[in-house]
Amino acid sequence: MPLMAAYLQDKFDDPVLMGPDSESEQWVSAVAKPNRREYGVC
């Protein structure tokens, strides 16, 4: 997850990360938290 967080930091100004279901929340939050990004689950 650190590599994905670093990539998003370099490529996007203010991304909002979304996961498709409750099972994906662990992955989406792990990518979002290092840079304090918003995230959600549908």
- CA distances 14 to 8, 25, 30, 36, Å, are 9, 19, 16, 10
pTM, to two decimals:
0.81
Q: Is the pLDDT of residue 1 over 90?
A: no
H helices present in the chain, as ranges: 2-11, 25-32
**Using one digit for the tens of pLDDT, what is the confidence trace for 5-36?**
999 999 999 999 999 999 999 999 999 999 99
